[in-house]
A and B are shown apart, each in its own frame.
Chain A
Amino acid sequence: MGKRLLLVEGKDDEQVVKHLCRAHGIEDRFLIEQPRQVDGLLGGDEGGVERLLDQVPIRLRESDVERLAVILDADTDAQHRWVQLRERLRRAGIPAVPDKPEDMSIVIDFRNRIGDPVRLGVWIMPDNRLPGMLENFLMFLVPEGDKLLAHVDRFLTGIPLVDRPFSDSASSKARMHAFLAVQEKPGKPLGLAITFCYLDAKREYVRPFLDWLQAVLVN
């Protein structure tokens, strides 16, 4: 069997996928890779998107790769993110790259140089349509009947703009981490929060994502 690879932007994405798979009994017989950190001290994902986009056409030519799944953040525009990747794929001569994703997710089947089938899947967080990132996706996993989030939101909106250091684009990140900061065991990282049930892996919203993941990497 060939190599099955999942490319993500950072450690959080990797952990979320692992814990979601565990919660649903999905065997993760695939490798998860993220862009190597150029400066170990930074520790963040600075420039991670570009480095991830750039390596997709090359990963498709990695030795023995038969399945490649890519999870990207939409950030401000899911369509723009897709176009960025699409152009790189077309430049690399990958056939049958669609103009725009018709469905929620993207799955492309083609044959590599030696004639073996390769499947490429792309998921743009949170749902291939909305702007946002991993944390926006996770917001939908807040358990039904949760009472904490309202308190968290009151706290966040209570911060006067002049004192608020984070930008609008980071507000879902602040919201999710603030939410996890006030759980029974405060400050669990994003993936572990699923296993601790602070985030509900069984919510309906997760289904399309897991279907996509299984179609690309498992089935």
Chain B
Amino acid sequence: MLTSLEIKNFRTFKHLRIERLGQVNLILGKNNVGKTTLLEALQLYGSRWPARTALDILEGRGEIGGTNRPGAVVNLRSLFHGRQAEPGTQSSIGPATNGDGSRVFQVAKIEEDVDYDKALTAGQQPAFSLVPQFAVEYRFGSDPVSTWTILPSRRVHSFMAGPLSSADMTTNPKPPLLRLTSAASMLNETAVRWDSLALTTGEQDVVGLLQTIAPIQGVRYIETAMGRVAIVQIEGKTDPIPLMSQGEGTVHVFQIAVAMVHTAMAWKKVAERDQFPNMFPGLLIDEFEVGVHHTLHADLWRFVLKAARELGVQVFATTHSWDCVRGFAAAVQDVPQCDALAIRLERSRDRSAAVSFTPEEMKIVVREEIEVR
């Protein structure tokens, strides 16, 4: 578990220090304070393949695209604060307690002025993929430096140091850290994750978690005209019914349960924990409130708090919603000794800061309707 966090020179954050993190963290704050960036930083910190993760993040934000087109310029500058990136510029993400435990990204080389069209028409060596545009080194503590280089013809080429080969990137795509973004894409991802749990104890774990909210005895995905649909077996019923018919809350719980169990199981399989002390089993949820009816927040949080503890998964969720805050506050009162924090990010001029509220304080926040978002 990550117990504190310090981010330097990464995107929105010139410097952010969070002294304490809980097992379950609700991230609050106004627009543009860096809630999503915080999740991105965690994603990058805990990633086994930061080069790929960095590109996924930038693509997800629409900051880069069309990277397969020859000559497309992939700008990695936005990974660095103020988009200021010169050779030697560093950003780092890690626990606040220990500078050596940070993951560091450093600009190694920039060659942005290569005119690939001209190079093509001049009939030059077509293997221009060897020409680096923007190279970023990354290292973890005193690990040997690895470099990833953005090439014009291929998205990314990563020169891995250490025991991982680039083949591992594709054959072992189960990171112990998951990010849930929008509800729509979650449905497909959930099906894939569910498949990966097939016939494992993880399947029973998910059903066990579902039973805390509904008398569900089993889940299957079946092929229909509308694609793959989850059906559930309900206690005392002969025929299965679609999971969807159980209501949005149940679907949400299912998606989160699958992601959490998936994360916990992926973590168990991580063999090289010593070599990657940055990895941790985590679930990052953007906009927790999306698709959740206001009456369901407390139930959903109670579920997340219990599941996080049982599975040993650390959760970070962002929200703008007061209903979500209230549900979180109610849930942290109900789940005894839960290690949960509400953390508001603030930004003023070029400074960033985190303001935390304990479960005990959240009780007062909600009772007195104190604005903490």
* CB proximity to B under 8 Å, residues A25-47: 33, 35-36, 38
The interface bits of chain B over 330-363 (1 if a CB of A lies within 8 angstroms of the residue's CB, else 0) are 0000000000000010111001111101000100
Cβ 8 A contact of B351, one of A35, A61, A114: A114
Contact status of A114 and B348, CB under 8 A, knowing A58-B357, A63-B373: yes
User: What are the residues of chain B within 8 A of A64 when measuring CB–CB?
Assistant: 371
By the criterion CB–CB under 8 Å, are B357 and A115 in contact? no
A-binding residues in B (CB < 8 A):
30, 344, 346-348, 351-355, 357, 361, 364-365, 367-373
A36 engages B354 (CB within 8 Å): no
**Could you tell me the distance in whole angstroms from the C-beta of B194 to the nearest C-beta in chain A?**
39
Q: Which residues of A contact B30 (CB under 8 A)?
A: 63
Give the residues in chain B near A63, CB-CB below 8 Å: 30, 344, 371-373
B26 to chain A, nearest CB (A): 15
Judge whether A59 and B353 touch: CB under 8 Å: no
In the complex, how many angstroms separate the beta carbon of A36 from the nearest chain B beta carbon?
Answer: 6
Contact in complex: B368, A113 (CB < 8 Å): no
A109 contacts the other chain (Cβ, under 8 Å)? no
Q: Is the CB of B348 within 8 A of A115?
A: yes
Against B, the Cβ 8 Å flags (1 = close, 0 = not) of A92-133 are: 000000000000000000001111100000000000000000
How far is B354's CA from A33's CA once the two chains are assembled, in angstroms?
A: 25
Do A61 and B355 touch (CB < 8 A)? Answer: yes
A61 touches B368 (CB 8 A): no
Q: Is the interface of A mostly helix, strand, loop or mixed?
A: loop
Contact A116 B348 (CB under 8 A): yes
Q: Is A168 an interface residue (CB 8 A)?
A: no
Q: How far is the CA of A177 from the CA of B355 in the complex (A)?
A: 44
- A113 and B346 in contact (CB under 8 A), knowing A61-B357, A63-B373? yes
The answer to whether residues A55 and B348 also contact, given A63-B373, A115-B353 and a CB cut-off of 8 A, is no
Known: A51-B367, A62-B372, A112-B353. 8 other contacts (CB 8 A): A58-B368, A58-B372, A61-B372, A63-B30, A113-B346, A114-B353, A115-B348, A116-B348
Of B348, B351, B368, B369, chain A has the most CB atoms within 10 Å of the CB of B368
Complex Cα distance, B127 from A105, in Å, reads 77
Nearest A residue (CB) for B348: A114
Name the residue of chain A whose CB is nearest to the CB of B360: A54
Q: Which of B354, B361, B368 is in CB contact (< 8 Å) with A35?
A: B368
B347 and A58: CB pair below 8 A?
no
How many angstroms between the C-alpha atoms of A113 and B356 in the bound complex?
Answer: 10
Please, how many angstroms separate the alpha-carbon atoms of A62 and B351 in the complex?
18
Min CB distance A75 to B, Å, is 21
Given contacts A58-B361, A63-B373, contact A36 B367 (CB under 8 A): yes
Decide: A55 near B368, CB < 8 A? Known: A61-B357, A115-B353.
yes
Q: Contact: A113 with B372, CB < 8 Å?
A: no
Give the residues in chain B near A51, CB-CB below 8 Å: 364, 367-368
- List the A side residues contacting B347 at CB < 8 Å: 114
Give complex CA distance A10, B367 in Å.
16
**Is A59 a contact of B355 with CB atoms below 8 Å?**
no
B351, B353, B370 interface centre (most CB from chain A within 10 Å): B370
Residue count of chain A within 8 Å CB distance of chain B: 19
Q: Which residue of B lies closest to A115 (CB)?
A: B351
Q: What are 6 A-B residue pairs whose CB atoms fall within 8 Å in the complex?
A: A51-B364, A58-B372, A61-B355, A63-B30, A63-B371, A112-B355
Residue of A at shortest CB range from B370? A62
In the bound complex, residues from chain A placing their C-beta under 8 Å from that of B353 are 112-115
Which one of A36, A38, A61 contacts B369 once the chains associate, using CB atoms below 8 Å?
A: A36
CB neighbours of A113 from chain B (8 A): 346, 353-355
| Minimal beta-carbon separation of A56 from chain B (angstroms) | 10
Distance to closest chain A CB from B93 (angstroms)? 20
CB A173 to nearest CB in B, in angstroms, measures: 25
Query: How far does the Cβ of A144 sit from chain B's closest Cβ, in whole Å?
Result: 40
Could you say which of B344, B355, B369 has the most chain A C-beta atoms within 10 Å of its C-beta?
B355
- CB contact under 8 A between A59 and B370, given known A114-B353, A115-B351: yes
Q: How far is the CB of B366 from chain A (nearest CB, A)?
A: 10
Distance from A1 Cβ to chain B, minimum over Cβ atoms (Å)? 13
Residues of A within 8 A of B371 (CB): 62-64
Chain A residues with CB below 8 A from B351, complex form: 114-115
- Whether A54 lies near B364 (C-beta < 8 A) is yes
Bound-complex Cα distance A55 to B344 (A): 17
Give A64 Cβ to nearest chain B Cβ, in Å. Answer: 8
A55 partner residues in chain B, CB cutoff 8 A? 364, 368, 370
